[in-house]
Structure 1
């Protein structure tokens, strides 16, 4: 896949970057762009960056979730490849979404949350992070992470989670059951330096009884469920 350049036009108080982006390069929620900032001489590896808001193609720009070490400042250019990987694929008819992001702001699942709310659905976010100051949708309900398993059983018809690789590999503990009552998907947070080109194995994990590479078969991994 050919590489391309995007220019950072803004960096907000939350660390999100506004990046120029052709419509055909806008990733779907859960997909990633592999980014390298040539101005950051202490970082030689490209890092995955994700949408932080739903993007309108006519704007030719996107908000990206904060990523380390690829920060950057307005005026700088990022070398990019993508969009890459598998994103979220909501089944038809999803109306009640449970989003589990226990320890940090929910930027990487926010585009999906926005989509469900705009289509008339309801979303509950399970977060232990300080979200009071974040520009989140007013219709979004926020509960503590401990309430997640019970909400799956009693309310949700689909769930998503944004988890580091080690937690994603132990997803049954997060869900409170080897088989969740409803289907869902995990967005795996892990370095993906090769972006699927080299099978380097850095992002390998075992989930759903098989070993996958998050950069190729992920970073969104679907999990079956059934009441």
Structure 2
């Protein structure tokens, strides 16, 4: 398996190196879709910029965080080609996670997709090329809000994805606030209304999310 991975990576590097000298790829901003939620989270302007191909050493450094051995060569090449994260999401068939019952934090492919997205933004020099709100909307295709809230809490325990988890939790709070949701609405969305009434919710990670949003709603916790 290791030998195969090395061969795949070598092939990807060779292909990418030959393209580097004479290719520039267009990277398009994702236009905002209809609906108040996505308009709130994504850029309203649809524009396109031409960006130079980054050096191989930069790509290799950014790709060093990928952990899925079977996907590493693909992710490396996609990064070199500046492939949009939404297309990588589709290629990895991550949407099927909704039907598997797998905990999101246990999926190496999903975690590497988040790492890929962070590397993609860093490579292009700005989070605007795939905003946190866009990541959140993409994740909604994988799991409902209550599961995403738990997933973001789990990301806090993964050192290189801790900040990602914090930022995605903020994106979730922003969406709820834009929809005018109060803490009671959020408790319903998280499925903890009865637990709140029983007083047994304190040990549930969803309570942390609920409490955090309550602080936001009361104006005690400003959002970035």
What TM-score do you get using the length of structure 2 for normalisation?
A: 0.29
Higher strand share: 1
Q: Larger Cα Rg: Structure 1 or Structure 2?
A: 2
Whose helix fraction is larger, Structure 1's or Structure 2's? 2
TM-score by length of 1: 0.28
Q: Which has the higher contact order (CA 8 A, sep 6+)?
A: 1
